[in-house]
Amino acid sequence: MNALIDKFSRQVRYVRISVTDRCDFRCVYCMSEDMTFLPRAQVLTLEELHQIARAFTELGVEKIRLTGGEPLVRQGIGKLVNDIGQLPGLKDFAMTTNGAGLRKHADSLYQGGMSRLNISLDSLDRDRFRRLTRTGDLDKVIDGIHAAQDAGFERIKLNAVILKGRNEDEIVDLVEFARRERVDISFIEEMPLGDVSDHSRGETFYSSDDVQAAIESRFPLMPSPESTLGPSRYFRMSDSDSRVGFISPHSHNFCSTCNRVRVTVEGRLLLCLGNEHSVDLRETLRRYPGELEPLKAQIIAAMDLKPERHHFTTDGDVQVVRFMNMTGG
Ligand code: SF4
């Protein structure tokens, strides 16, 4: 029974839980060059993160995605995945990662019950990859994709953020790479979270429609009804297993069917990525250690706070002060 219904009669079936705000990359659309990270005391423990996951599954949530920052830099991530992976009622257990830590962790994630991986990949050019991530090693990420395949992951999806003047010339190459590796790929429109220092979003915005046109100049796309409970609109190609998805918060708003909420690593239950409406779960967790009922009651009550939609614009103004690393998308 799903108890999580908001004022717009939308059912929350999916929670994205950030397990760290830290990352070994500094992607230009996610963080500014010099970041300050949360002190340990403010960060939820692994047990608290597990309790939150348990509370949501007991309230009817079917899908959990672990995010960051970069979830694989969190100490004890293997144990947390193993504990969450055993929760009754969990139908879909996923992670969004930059892939650099997958050679080390892919087996334990898969053994722990994780079923799906999203791996960020914005360029196939080593130098450009380094510039877009500020610190990333492309070879490590590609090796990470192979480690995930070796571990048994069948549903792997690449996530690519296209920035005008930065990587739009690689759109078809990225699709060809996905076809070769037999993985899916989603193209994401950049979202105005945090005052990133690297570029003006008004200048780099590249719409999903332009991405689709570029792809269709090489690969005809057929709309597909498939869904992963996420915001991607999927398309198929007649000669490949790979799906192509578009996450288009600006050009194809998807808020009317929103089914998700987020929890930051400091225990803020964020009702919407594009707004600051939130409640503090950490205070409840630490006031009633080990008790689920107060936490569940707080989560149910918070549904009334869930906003109808985001108000993002593409003019480059920062609409949400918090950086993307607080939620991982
Ligand atoms: S912006 Fe907010 S309302 Fe819209 S889909 Fe995302 S979380 Fe839901």
- Residue 34 has what pLDDT? 84
Identify the residue whose C-alpha is closest to ligand 1 atom 5: 255
- Residue 32 has what pLDDT? 86
- Residue 271 has what pLDDT? 97
Distance 156 CA to ligand 1 centre (A): 24
Could you tell me the two tokens for 134?
């500020």
End-to-end CA distance of the chain: 27
Q: What is the pTM of this model?
A: 0.96
Let me know: does 301 contact 3? Beta carbons within 8 Å: no
**Is residue 9 in a domain?**
no
Largest separation between any pair of C-alpha atoms in the chain:
58
Question: DSSP string covering 44-66, please?
Answer: PPHHHHHHHHHHHHHTT--EEEE
Best mutation site among 254, 261, 271, 276 for ligand 1, i.e. most ligand atoms within 8 A of its Cβ?
A: 254
**Residue 246: half-sphere exposure toward Cβ, Cα within 13 Å:** 25
Q: Which residues line ligand 1 (CB under 6 A)?
A: 254-255, 258, 272-274, 309-310
pLDDT in tens, 68-86: 999 999 999 999 999 999 9
Could you tell me the two tokens for 9?
């009669």
Identify the residue whose C-alpha is closest to ligand 1 atom 2: 272
- The DSSP element (H or E) to which 244 belongs, if any, is strand 243-247
Residue 1 binned pLDDT confidence (cut-offs 50, 70, 90): low
Count of domains forming the chain: 1
Let me know: does 7 contact 301? Beta carbons within 8 Å: no
How many C-beta neighbours within 10 Å does residue 200 have? Answer: 11
**Is residue 4 in a domain?**
no
Give the contacts of 71 (CB within 8 A, at least 6 positions apart).
18, 19, 20, 77, 95, 96, 97, 328
Domain of 61, in residue numbers: 14-327
Give the CATH number of the domain where residue 212 resides.
3.20.20.70
- Residue 155 has what pLDDT? 87
Give the atom of ligand 1 at the shortest distance from the alpha carbon of 310. Answer: 1
pLDDT in tens, 206-259: 999 999 999 999 999 999 999 888 899 999 999 999 999 999 999 999 999 999
Mean pLDDT in the chain?
95
pLDDT in tens, 268-325: 999 999 999 999 999 999 999 999 999 999 999 999 999 999 999 888 777 788 899 9
Could you tell me the two tokens for 87?
């929760």
**Is residue 2 in a domain?**
no
CA distances 59 to 11, 67, 93, 296, Å, are 11, 21, 16, 7
Percent of the chain with pLDDT over 70: 99
- Residue 228 has what pLDDT? 82
pLDDT in tens, 107-135: 999 999 999 999 999 999 999 999 999 99
Work out whether strand 155-161 and strand 116-120 pair parallel, antiparallel, or are unpaired: parallel
**Is residue 3 in a domain?**
no
